[in-house]
């Protein structure tokens, strides 16, 4: 396999802010496959109760089903204790033989990369593809990341061809797409207030949320790991 992309996150729930930029990245980098990797027990979100992994996984399965080359991995559910992206990426790399590995993340996540567990190792395992979130971008983003990463950052226009990097180099690609300003936090809040999220998630995901009464107040089923 030539190019493989991974997209990690809690996906609680998956929404169009994940899917639309993921399609842009997929088309731009011409991945052979893009694997969504839902986090099981992410250390940075331990303070908030996550929806059960089985629900988050099921919603991702529904959302990615229409895309032939969008795949799903439950690798994080196989490990006990906090799950670190660097370990997941290493494990995934060992399982698949691939020339170039890319890890997708929003610019808000990238702005905090210096706080990630063993981040130097993480950025040596994959190229990063940074998706545009309107909360942080441009000079502000560059100023927030560790200085040694700035020289590796490259702007990429959506759908423009990206040449293969020289062997041994790892780049950080900033994908210059229009931001899609939606977050899972916003969606959960809207649902709690009884407002519609119809246009912001795929219809299958919406039906699933309604059927399982997720994200409602008062300890409804599903609001624990
Ligand atoms: P929450 O609001 O619960 O923190 P989220 O909407 O940020 O959730 P996550 O599952 O935490 O979603 O995100 C997974 C990855 O997708 C992260 O790297 C995040 O930055 C990125 N991402 C989330 N929403 C968007 C968006 N609208 N545009 C670009 N990237 C996004």
pLDDT tens, 3-21?
999 999 999 999 999 999 9
Residue percentage of the chain with pLDDT more than 90: 78
- Quick: pLDDT tens for 41-71: 777 666 678 999 999 999 999 999 999 999 9
For the whole model, what pTM was predicted?
0.93
Residue of the CA atom closest to atom 31 of ligand 1:
106
Atom of ligand 1 nearest to the CA of 48: 3
Residue 88 has pLDDT above 70, yes or no: yes
- The dihedral of CA 25, 26, 28, 29: what is its sign? positive
Q: Provide the residue ranges of all domains of the chain, joining segments of one domain with +.
A: 3-180
What residues does 175 pair with on adjacent strands? 156
Strands of the sheet containing 100-106, edge to edge, are 70-72, 33-38, 3-9, 100-106, 127-131, 172-175, 153-156
Helix (H) or strand (E) holding 156: strand 153-156
Backbone angles phi, psi at 193, to 5 degrees: -85, 0
pLDDT at 49: 85
The residue behind tokens 């980098």 is 29
Question: Residues lining ligand 1, CB < 6 A?
Answer: 9-12, 17-18, 21, 105-106, 108-109, 131, 133, 180, 182-185
The CATH number that domain 3-180 falls under is 3.40.50.620
pLDDT at 130: 98
How many angstroms does the Cα of residue 18 sit away from the middle of ligand 1? 6
- Quick: pLDDT tens for 142-195: 999 999 999 999 999 999 999 988 888 899 999 999 999 999 999 999 999 989
Mean model confidence pLDDT for the chain: 91
Which residues does 206 contact at the CB level (< 8 Å), separation at least 6? 197, 198
How many angstroms does the Cα of residue 3 sit away from the middle of ligand 1? 23
* Token pair of 142 as six digits: 């560059």
pLDDT at 121: 96
Task: Please state the rounded mean pLDDT for residues 104-132.
Answer: 96
Residue 225 has pLDDT above 70, yes or no: no
Closest Cα partner for 107 from 131, 126, 142?
A: 131
């Amino acid at each position: 396999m030539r190019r493989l992309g991974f997209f990690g996150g809690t996906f609680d729930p998956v929404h169009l802010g994940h899917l639309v930029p993921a399609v842009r990245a997929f088309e731009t980098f011409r991945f052979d496959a893009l694997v969504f990797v839902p986090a099981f027990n992410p250390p940075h979100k331990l303070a908030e109760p996550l929806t059960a992994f089985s629900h988050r996984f099921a919603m991702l399965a529904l959302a990615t089903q229409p895309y032939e080359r969008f795949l799903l991995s439950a690798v994080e559910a196989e490990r006990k204790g906090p799950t670190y992206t660097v370990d997941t990426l290493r494990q995934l790399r060992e399982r698949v033989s691939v020339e170039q590995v890319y890890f997708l993340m929003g610019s808000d996540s990238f702005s905090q990369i210096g706080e990630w567990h063993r981040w130097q190792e993480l950025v040596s395992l994959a190229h990063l593809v940074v998706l545009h979130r309107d909360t942080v971008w441009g000079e502000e983003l560059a100023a927030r990341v560790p200085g040694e990463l700035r020289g590796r950052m490259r702007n990429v226009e959506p759908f423009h061809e990206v040449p293969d990097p020289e062997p041994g180099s790892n780049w950080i690609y900033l994908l210059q797409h229009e931001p899609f300003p939606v977050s899972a936090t916003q969606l959960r809040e809207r649902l709690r207030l009884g407002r519609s999220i119809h246009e912001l998630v795929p219809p299958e995901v919406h039906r699933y949320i309604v059927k399982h009464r997720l994200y409602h107040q008062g300890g409804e089923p599903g609001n624990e790991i």
